[in-house]
Chain A
Amino acid sequence: MELQIRDLTKRFGGIVALNKISFTLSGNELVGLIGPNGSGKTTLVNTIGGIHDPEGGQILLNGTNIAQMRPHQVAQRGIGRTFQVTRAFRRMTVLENLLVPGMALAPERGRRAWEVRAREVLDFLTMSHLRDDYARSLSGGQQKLLELGQVMMTDPDLILLDEPFAGVHPRLMETIFDYIKTLHQDGKAFIIVSHDMDSIFTLSERLVVLSYGDIIADGDPEVVKHDDVVIEAYLGEEEEEPVA
């Protein structure tokens, strides 16, 4: 799997949310995407995911430009994603939530096969006992897990996680953390947006830092952590230690 972002530009009116940004993700890299509020992280994820149409540039997935594709077409190409604020289908059961991506992306496999797959995913997430509960009755953390389960259903090559640890119970945060590591070891590539510095620095093999729509750093987390430009972007010029 190779994802190439080339000169990607996205504007909202006069505001440039992404300013000709470029980077490449290869194989099963796990890339952390960080930056101060308003830096363009979620915009980038939404643009890769097809929710936003970019004004310029390319998003090449294995050589095919997916920049103008609709979200369902992006999903068909093997990119799964979660949202910053959990968007499980609240008035549908956990099982139904999991069946949606399966039945949408590969209906020919049939409902029974997808139900079997859903049970596997629920076992993996230790959520089997919640199968028939409505998504809205789950806790915030469980809903995050459910979204991860939806992504896992169709076994995508690249997973975009937008704030997977935000507002999650600490115990569940550890669980999500472990699941991400397991999936990564199984060969999945990740782009993870997070404000949780402990988790993102521990998880990531590589960090991309955005500020006002520009990439200001891209590299090894240990190097990025001590990058003066990153420190300045996060805490301003007066501060010396930007990140723990």
Chain B
Amino acid sequence: MNQITDSLRRPPVLITLAAAVIALILPLFLQTYWLHVIIIAYFYAILASSWALLAGYGGQFSFGHMAFMAIGAYTSGLLTLHLDIPIVGGIILGTLAAGVAGLAIGALTLRFKAAYLALFTIAFSEILRTLIRAEAQITRGDRGLRVEPLFNSLTRIPEYYVMLAVLFASLIFMYWLVQSRVGLFLRAVREDEEAAAARGVDVVRYKILTFVLTSMIAGLAGTIFAHYITIITPNIMVIPQMGLVIAMAIIGGVESLVAAAIGAVIVQIALELLREFGAWRLVIFGALLVLTLRFARDGLLIMIFQRLFRTGPRAELRQSAEEEGIRADQEGEDELTEMEAPLTSTGQES
């Protein structure tokens, strides 16, 4: 079964509210260390869910998401450091810079087939990383750029709520987007670009729009991350980091924003819990990813959600409808072969 139900695209209100309430009161029960882990998990949740919008809804497989995050982080870090711009200004300008970079990359690559985007964004990420390392007099290269802190708090609670607010805001915005006609067109483009264009969808325009918006969300996450961690290095955008974000989205469910975000949180927490296993935790994690791709291609969480919410008559009806469809095709083919159709031949492209 490879279909995502509407209930998953539109997460039930009660579950969403419950998750929101838990997230809001969580700092009351967590020590500073685990609060830090959760803040980082939320950071990855923003990246994984925005990448899910790009890849899962839009069918655009980009490896440049961490690069746009880094553009936001470095832009805000450098501007606040060298030009004494307030942090809020840095966050806004960092987000815009990521959007402008997304527009440039998108305009260059999104007219071509998806493979070009993947290859181009890998190259772009590596070029940007090399550039940041090379321009050490500005970026401080591998030594790391010291960035103004968001707050001078020892508890990390203010930072927690800021990252949570950005996560909620980005999820609400993306949810609104996928429910709008943009979301409708994105899914059509993902299914079949040529067919979507033939139906009147300006495919390139909507692909670029999505690319720019998801780049800005990644950039925004990067700015908050930079001012939270207070030191950024080019290593934040290495390919394995990008792989981690993709894996989080895939394990959660790449066609559901909420599932991708929850997947990111669970994976980040699991990586922390399994820290005592050393390198073996990555083996366990890799095995989980392989199993997900093999047995739950819509995502592990999606599979669990489906079991929880779709084991009723509606699911059976849907299943029977699919079987009916297959049966109707087969019956049609059978009858066609029995027909005496003079000079009837089908299916050859001319």
Q: Which residues of A contact B (CB under 8 A)?
A: 35-43, 49-51, 70-72, 74-76, 81, 83-85, 87-92, 96, 99-101, 103-105, 107, 111, 133-134, 136-142, 150, 154, 163, 165-170, 172, 193, 195-198, 210, 234, 242-244
Residue ranges of B at the interface with A (Cβ–Cβ < 8 Å) = 2-4, 181, 184-185, 187-188, 191-192, 194-203, 318, 321-322, 324-329, 331-333, 335-336, 339, 341-350
The answer to whether A163 touches B195 (Cβ under 8 A) is no
Chain A residues, CB < 8 A from B329: 139-141, 169
Q: A75 vs B191: C-alpha distance in the bound complex, in angstroms? A: 18
Contacts of B4 in A (CB 8 A): 91
State A71–B191 Cα separation when bound (angstroms). 16
With CB as the reference atom, state the residue of chain A lying closest to B193: A71
- Complex Cα distance, B344 from A224, in Å, reads 17
**Contact among A40, A76, A242 for B350, CB-based, below 8 A:** A40
Assess the B195–A167 pair: CB atoms within 8 A.
Answer: no
Which residues of chain A come closer than 8 Å to B200, judged between CB atoms?
72, 75-76, 100-101, 104-105, 154
Q: Which residue of B lies closest to A147 (CB)?
A: B195
Which B residues are CB-close (under 8 A) to A99? Answer: 184
| Residues of B contacting A234 in the complex (Cβ-Cβ under 8 angstroms) | 343
Interface contact A170-B202, CB-CB below 8 Å: no
Please determine whether B350 and A92 come into contact, CB atoms closer than 8 angstroms. no
With a cutoff of 8 Å between Cβ atoms, the chain A residues found around residue B181 in the complex are 103-104, 107, 111
Give B328's nearest chain A residue, CB to CB: A139
20 new A-B contacts, CB < 8 A, other than A195-B346, A198-B342, are A51-B198, A72-B198, A72-B199, A85-B347, A89-B187, A92-B191, A100-B196, A104-B202, A111-B181, A133-B321, A137-B322, A137-B325, A138-B325, A139-B324, A140-B332, A169-B328, A169-B331, A169-B332, A169-B336, A196-B344
Distance to closest chain B CB from A170 (angstroms) = 5
Q: Which 10 A-B pairs have the closest CB atoms?
A: A169-B332, A139-B328, A104-B200, A244-B342, A71-B197, A87-B195, A75-B200, A166-B346, A101-B199, A89-B191
Indicate if the CB atoms of A104 and B332 lie closer than 8 Å. Answer: no
Contact B185 A103 (CB under 8 A): yes
B188 and A100 within 8 A (CB) = yes
Contacts of B336 in A (CB 8 A): 167, 169-170
By beta carbon, the residue of chain B nearest A195 is B345
- Nearest CB to that of B334 among chain A residues? A169
A103 to chain B: which residues have CB within 8 Å? Answer: 181, 184-185
Contacts A/B (CB < 8 Å), 24 sampled: A38-B348, A40-B350, A41-B350, A49-B198, A51-B198, A75-B197, A76-B200, A84-B349, A88-B195, A91-B3, A92-B188, A100-B199, A103-B185, A107-B181, A133-B318, A136-B325, A140-B328, A140-B332, A141-B329, A163-B346, A167-B347, A168-B332, A193-B350, A244-B342
A244 adjacent to B332 (CB under 8 Å) = no
The answer to whether A38 and B332 touch (CB under 8 A), given A76-B200, A91-B191, A103-B181, is no
Expressed in whole angstroms, the minimum distance between the Cβ of B27 and any Cβ of chain A is 39
**Whose C-beta in chain B lies nearest to the C-beta of A196?**
B344
Q: For B187, what are the chain A residues with a Cβ–Cβ distance below 8 Å? A: 89, 91-92, 96
Contact A37 B348 (CB under 8 A): yes
Across-interface contacts of B203 in A (CB, < 8 A) = 72
A210 to B350, CA, bound (A): 10
Complex CA gap A163/B103 in Å reads 40
Q: Which one of B194, B203, B343 has the greatest number of beta carbons of chain A within 10 Å?
A: B343
Contact A42 B322 (CB under 8 A): no
In the bound complex, do residue A39 and residue B339 qualify as a contact, i.e. CB atoms below 8 Å apart? Answer: no
For B332, list chain A residues within 8 Å (CB): 139-141, 167-170, 172
When chains A and B are docked, how far (Å) is the Cα of A111 from the Cα of B183?
13
How many whole Å from A176's CB to the nearest CB in chain B?
A: 12
Query: In the docked arrangement, what's the CA distance between A167 and B349, Å?
Result: 14
Partner of B195, one of A41, A89, A133, A166: A89
A104 pairs with B185, CB closer than 8 A: yes
**Cβ–Cβ contact B201 & A72, under 8 A:** yes
Contact between chains at A71 and B194 (CB < 8 Å): yes
B341 to chain A, nearest CB (A): 7
Most chain B beta carbons < 10 A, residue from A72, A88, A150: A72
> Which residue of the partner chain, among B188, B195, B318, B321, contacts A83 with CB atoms under 8 Å?
B195
The answer to whether residues A167 and B199 also contact, given A87-B194, A139-B328 and a CB cut-off of 8 A, is no
Cα–Cα distance between A75 and B195 once the two chains are bound (Å): 11
For the complex, give the distance between the alpha carbons of A169 and B194 in Å.
26
